């Protein structure tokens, strides 16, 4: 299995998707700023919501937010961090697996 971004879970199959390697693991180009710092949780969250709405036809903003919250909450980078954007309803396991299967 290939590497995935420790912040958003994006598969890092192509070297152009890779951003930086940290002590915790790799980050994709979408989760880092130009200076190599990790983007704010809210910025990554917003990008995730847009991704799921664009990638899965018929996904409304509310469902995309719940899927993104679930996805980010299981990524290593966010473990133990109290981030406002990750608080709230998450997709059920069934909704999450269904969403991932459509990607």
Q: Tell me what pLDDT residue 56 has.
A: 97
The per-residue pLDDT for range 20-75, each reduced to its tens digit, is: 999 999 999 999 999 999 999 999 999 999 999 999 999 999 999 999 999 999 99
The per-residue pLDDT for range 89-99, each reduced to its tens digit, is: 999 999 999 99
Domain boundaries, the chain: 15-101
Which stretch of DSSP H or E encloses residue 69? Answer: helix 61-73
Burial 70-82 (b: 16+ CB within 10 A, else e): bbbeebebbeeee
> How does residue 19 score in pLDDT terms, banded at 50, 70 and 90?
very high
**Crossing angle for the helix pair 93-101 and 61-73, to the nearest 10 degrees:** 100
The model's pTM? 0.94
DSSP label of 39: P
């Amino acid at each position: 299995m290939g590497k995935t971004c420790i912040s958003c879970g994006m598969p890092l199959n192509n070297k152009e998707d890779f951003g930086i390697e940290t002590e915790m693991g790799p980050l994709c180009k979408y989760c880092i700023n130009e200076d190599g710092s990790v983007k704010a949780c809210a910025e990554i969250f917003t990008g995730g919501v847009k991704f799921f709405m664009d990638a899965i036809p018929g996904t409304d903003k509310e469902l995309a937010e719940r899927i993104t919250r679930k996805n980010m909450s299981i990524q290593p980078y966010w473990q133990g961090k109290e981030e406002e954007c990750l608080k709230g309803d998450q997709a059920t396991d069934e909704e999450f697996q269904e969403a991932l299967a459509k990607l």
